[in-house]
Structure 1
Amino acid sequence: MNPVTTPPPGAAAGTGLTALGPQATTLLNRLDRVFESWALDAAAEPMVTAPLLPVARLAELDFYRNFPHQAMVAAPLRLHKTDAGHDPGDGAFPADAMEPARLALPSAACYGVYLHLAGQDLPEPRRVTVLGRCFRREDHYEDLRRLLGFHMREIVALGPLPYTDEHLRHFTGRIEEFAARLGLPLRKEPAADPFYDRGGPRALLQRLAPVKYEFLYEDLAIASVNVHRNFFGDRLGITLAGTGEPVFTSCVAFGLERWLSVLTRRFGDWERASAAVERALAAE
């Protein structure tokens, strides 16, 4: 294991939960400012979305059909008496001690954007950027490479199909240029995120035209560009003024802790990783 990314004392091994020290935090914030600046340069509007999302709304988007293995939900304790006491046995509360889980911990930052815009008729195409704290259940966790809770910067486009396609082309170029200046060899590979029903014509269309491409350093994806077509616009009633048609959407995502893992693996320690980022930015 790379000592740079070893969880600090107090982090429970294998839980996917850890804290970032001062150097890691500084670098994470620096990278996020870079990606946010790309979004603002493209006239994206900054947003802060809700930290939790309604389970019922995510169910409308087939989230629990497509991603049950990632899902994390939250519920309050079931209160019977004010003096009953609620001590977790063996470090956990049993299911019968909980109220129904009506809230979800988001697995991606863009869901909050689409749910916020549900039912709206957009006056023009738009971009939105958001920094989200995201959560995913995984079959295993590994230092900063694979976490239960992590930061995701996303840049979302909503509008007609050519607008959302150009969004991905533009940011693909920015990712590739930045990686080249960093001296970080990335490869772009198709991946599958089932935004659509697995059966029927939508699933066939996804197989014929991949909806997600990942940018990988060695074996780790650190960014992705994602095509949703008009899925979210149709399901959530987000339309474009003057057309009455559901918007198309696409998004670009950056897993910030994964960038930290890759940069320290590539350059050896926090100081050299931070210096490499500054050199790359100075070369713009």
Structure 2
Amino acid sequence: MSPTISPPAAVQHGGLSALGPEATELLRLLDDTFAGWGVRAGAAQLTMPPLLPAAELAKLDYYDNFPHQAILATPLDLAKREEHPYSTTAGTFPQEALEPAALALPSAACYGVYMHHAGTALPDGTLVTVLGRCFRKETEYHDLRRLLGFHMREVIAIGSREHTEQHLRHFTDRITAFAAALDLPLRKEAATDPFYDRGGARLLLQKLSPVKYEFLYEDLAIASVNVHRNFFGERCDITVTDTGESAFTSCAAFGLERWLSALTRRHGSWAAATEAVRQAGAAV
């Protein structure tokens, strides 16, 4: 009989990863852990669509601030498909064979949440959590550290400034304690996400008071806490029920494949990393 060859735990090709049973078990365990933090804090669990209207992202200045990451999706134009067929040499359809791109692949899980609540009033203290399939165009891809498509768990706060700031303090403590229990040395560094007009007063405020902190293992950011002030509240017309004012938002985000990379590098094997997460989850 031929020997049984086990598939690799994780394979990345062209920025797209396939996870075997061991990697899938650890990814689900991590996601259950992070989602559980949100649920225990009172977060409602939501599921957002895998595609978003490009026009709605444009209202959020997405294509001005993140053109280098943007990925669009569009159907084939059936009237032009035969005239402009798939190229086996290039491995692509020509642009002439495609309809205009009206759909986008989101680069973060929270965008769909703000669109979902557009035009609504929410009580102060609102929390939601989502698991998103996210996509980012990168200059290069490397194992599970940097991918074209990946999983992102987010826990999002919507309400007053005080609520959103408290949310980030709570999750900063959670991440710090969890990393310590995992024996995973992380460093917290200020970063920036240009959600705001690059030439406006909000950008100056962002530089004076950082809106994003990343948690890095070695040179890899595996989690972040982000405050958006009332940017999404204003752009999506989300208000706070009691005051009628534009809602503030903040989020804690976890790149799950990056956690897989960090944990297996730190603990040496999938089994050891999984056991470390089980023990740390029970301790924190």
User: How high is the TM-score relative to the length of structure 2?
Assistant: 0.94
The equivalent of 1:150 in structure 2 is: 150
Match of 1:102 in 2: 102
What is the distance in 1 between the residues matched to 2:40 and 2:237? 28
Distance 1:99 1:171, change over 3 A: same
State the aligned residue count.
277
Deviation per CA, 1:134-181: give whole Å up to 9, x if none.
000001000000000000000000000000000000010000000000
2:111 aligned residue: 111
Aligned twin of 2:41: 42
Looking at structure 2, the residues matched to 19 and 6 of structure 1 have their Cα atoms a distance apart, in angstroms, of 8
CA positional deviation for 1:125 = 2.8
Deviation at 1:124, TM superposition (A): 3.7
* Structural mapping, 1:114-133, within 5 Å: 114-133=114-133
Superposed CA deviations along residues 193-250 of structure 1, whole A, max 9, x for unmatched, are: 0010010211110110011000000100000000100000001100011312100000
Q: SS at the partner of 2:224?
A: strand
1:69–1:168 Cα change, 3 Å: same
Indicate how the Cα distance of structure 1 residues 208 and 85 shifts in structure 2: closer, same or farther if over 3 A, else same: closer
Match of 2:209 in 1: 209
String of CA shifts for 1:84-141, please: whole Å, max 9, x gaps.
Answer: 7943342001111100000000000000000000000114430000000000000100
1:260-280 CA-to-partner distances (Å, cap 9, x unmatched) read 000000011101111111221
CA contact (8 A) 2:9 2:21 kept: no
Amino acid in structure 1 at the alignment position of 2:60? L
SS of match in other structure, 2:17: coil
TM-score, normalised with respect to structure 1? 0.94
Is 1:180 aligned with 2:150? no
Summarize the alignment of residues 1-284 of structure 1 with structure 2, pairs less than 5 Å apart.
8=11, 11-12=12-13, 15-80=14-79, 86-89=85-88, 90-284=90-284
SS in 1 for 2:115: helix
The residue aligned with 2:4 is none
Q: Which amino acid aligns with 1:228?
A: H
Q: Distance in 1 between matches of 2:176 and 2:73?
A: 38
Structure 1: stretches of 5+ with no match in the other structure: none
Q: What runs of 5+ residues in structure 2 fail to find an aligned partner? A: 1-7
Cα distance in 2 between the residues matched to 1:126 and 1:94? 45
Secondary structure of 1:119's counterpart equals coil
| Aligned Cα root-mean-square deviation (Å) | 1.7
Equivalent residue number for residue 3 of structure 2: none
What is the percent sequence identity of the aligned residues? 63
Aligned partners of 2:9 and 2:19 also within 8 Å: no
Deviations, residues 35-55 of structure 1 (Å, cap 9, x unaligned)? 010000000000000110000
Deviation (angstroms), 1:6: 8.4
Q: Structure 1 pair 93/164, CA: closer, same or farther in 2 (3 Å)?
A: same
- The 8 Å contact of residues 179 and 185 in structure 1, kept in 2 or not, is answered as yes
SS of aligned partner of 2:37: helix
2: CA distance, partners of 1:234 / 1:267? 44
